[in-house]
Amino acid sequence: MHNRDISIGKDYAHAIFNRVSEPLPPFDFKPDWSDRPSFYKFYQDVERIALPFDFPTQLITMADVLARLSTSPAEKDVARLSFDDLAAILYYAHGVLARRLRINWNIAPRTLAIYDLYNHNEARGTASGGGLYPTEIYWACGSSGPLLPGLYHYDNAHHAVERLCTGDMTGQIQEALFAYPDALQTDQFLLISLNIWKNAFKYNNFGYHVITQDLGALLYSLRCLAAGFDSELQPLFWYQEKGLTQLLGLDIDDESVFAIVPLPLGSSAPAPVLHDKKRPSRSEHDLRVQKTYWQRSQVLQTFDLHQGMHAAAMIDDEPRPQRQEAYKASPDNITWGSEQFLLPPPDMARLQADLLTTMKQRCSSFGNFSSHQPLALEELSLMLAFGASACNYTSDLKMPDGSPHLTRQIVFVNHVQGLERGFYAYDRQDHSLWTIHNKDLRLFLQENYFLQNYNLAEIGALIAVVGSVDKILEVYGNRGYRVLNAEVGMVAQSIYMAASALSCGCGAALGFNNMALNEAAGLTGTDDRAILIVIVGHERQHVGNFDYRLV
């Protein structure tokens, strides 16, 4: 398999987006919940170092977050992070913040209330498909770092780091990144991996589609929290997996690195390591993790489509595409008709909630939406603005100013004050909506949503995150699928954060008929597709809720 054999990516996308009419194999698959993997990854025979719990009581407001993330990354002064800052970012982005149980008509709480070995309802700052959290964070600490140089795994069950290997791995990471310039300016990196079985045990071949969006949700949380410390984190997507997987001591079919984040960590920047003049020594290449971790599941399965797509997106020696190539992967900027509805400017007065409080309050609104209080137009305006700001990041595949966006938003309006029911395309440049057509959506949405956790007649609006799969595959090969889905996850997490700050409900979902939504939104005949839906609105009042705060 080769990254440029994009027939694999196109076939996988076809299988995912047409799964309503052409069910995904294996057709008789049922998750074995009693043999599900552990909620947490624990390494054995390692030194565990507790991270600071002395967090700030508050950081910046969500208004400040929106303002900072809406600014071009190239125009920002990036502050360096302290060890305490990093600990807070890891905790709020990936740690366990609370245990929750909400009483609603959805069937899940009946089993969650039992609190048995395989039902678990925990609150985290970052959303995850199915609440499975397949993301793992490794920290490569170089010689300038606050701990002994080596590789560390973030143990989110204990808010600690597990020392897996000692030695400065900077050279190996920079080599895997093809000496990317920004990677030469630091010896501190976060390696974000995806633990495939933690998701595939439930979603089988659909899992690759889900976990790559989980990646984006986590990347957005890391970036959002870094903004709270006046810093900036950029994800890097183009690197050689095999070397990094070997470095971490992982089986590439079970777990693999899906993004690298250079860290501006420490009081001063280390001297650049000129990779092209200083090749890693043989002893550096011998450094790798040799620790094992506990696996709860007795039976692990692999799924052909999932594994095939994962293998096809690997990079060996293929050069990184030029940054300006990203413009070719941007979705079509289409407006429909001549009716344009200007949205009210983002009302910053509504966003005075603190960032850390917002992270702790973020949750999915299963079964709790209510049409008794329509969504205010100002609230929808802010959610769309947050969704657009999430795309304004730089990476090794985008321009320094954060352009272009690889996704856009289409809105299905149901109960929004001042807006007729119907389909609208969001224009981020003018912060406006273009009418696709007006009609009552309630029956259509429910007929094309095939799960039981939301009553779509009660929601305020449904935001479809749209991207061009074929275009991004043509520019980046199969690697583009994970890059596009990462941005989709960033948009979803940003809308979650906006909804939480506004005390609104929110829920991301994949259980919908993609082709029906595409047709209704006028996407048929274009390269654009609805990839994820984010449902927003107000919730029922006086809902029974058990919420055990850990912070």
Mean pLDDT per 10-residue segment, the chain (551 residues) = 93 96 92 92 94 91 95 84 97 90 60 54 89 96 95 96 95 96 96 96 96 98 96 96 93 95 78 47 63 91 95 96 96 78 95 96 88 96 98 96 96 96 94 93 90 88 97 98 98 98 96 93 90 95 66 52
Q: Within 13 Å, how many C-alpha atoms sit on residue 153's CB side?
A: 29
At residue 278, the pLDDT reads 46
Sign of torsion, CA 462 463 469 471? positive
Which residues of the chain does CATH 3.40.109.10 include? Answer: 32-321, 326-549
At residue 547, the pLDDT reads 64
Cα gap 223→518, rounded to integer Å? 31
At residue 435, the pLDDT reads 93
Residues comprising the chain, all counted: 551
Strand order in the sheet with 98-102: 122-123, 98-102, 545-549
In 3-state terms, what secondary structure has residue 141? strand
Which H or E element spans position 261?
Answer: strand 255-262
In single-letter form, the type of residue at position 312 comes to A
Judged on CB neighbours under 10 Å (0-12, 13-18, 19+), 348 is middle
Cα gap 101→422, rounded to integer Å? 34
Cα gap 346→361, rounded to integer Å? 21
At residue 484, the pLDDT reads 98
What does the block give as tokens for 69? 């993330």
Residue pair 482/237 in contact by the 8 Å Cβ criterion: yes
In 3-state terms, what secondary structure has residue 523? coil
At residue 346, the pLDDT reads 95
b/e 200-222 (16+ beta carbons within 10 angstroms → b): bbbbbbbbbbbbbbbbbbbbbbb
At residue 58, the pLDDT reads 86
Distance of CA 95 to the CA centre of its chain: 15
At residue 281, the pLDDT reads 47
What does the block give as tokens for 33? 């919940």
Which H or E element spans position 26?
Answer: none
At residue 116, the pLDDT reads 53
Q: Which residues pair with 259 in a beta bridge?
A: 192
Q: Which CATH number fits domain 326-549: 3.30.930.10, 3.40.109.10, 3.40.50.800, 3.40.50.720?
A: 3.40.109.10
In 3-state terms, what secondary structure has residue 5? coil
At residue 273, the pLDDT reads 53
Q: Which residues pair with 534 in a beta bridge?
A: 463, 508
- Which residue's structure tokens are 């069937």? 107
Cα gap 507→495, rounded to integer Å? 9
Cα gap 271→262, rounded to integer Å? 15
At residue 120, the pLDDT reads 58
Judged on CB neighbours under 10 Å (0-12, 13-18, 19+), 377 is middle
CATH of domain 32-321: 3.40.109.10
Residue pair 329/527 in contact by the 8 Å Cβ criterion: no
Cα gap 229→243, rounded to integer Å? 32
Residue pair 234/151 in contact by the 8 Å Cβ criterion: no
At residue 367, the pLDDT reads 78
Which H or E element spans position 185?
Answer: none
Residues 6 or more apart from 345 whose CB is under 8 A from it?
381, 431
First to last CA, the chain: 47
Sign of torsion, CA 107 113 117 123? positive
pTM of the model: 0.94
Residue pair 178/160 in contact by the 8 Å Cβ criterion: no
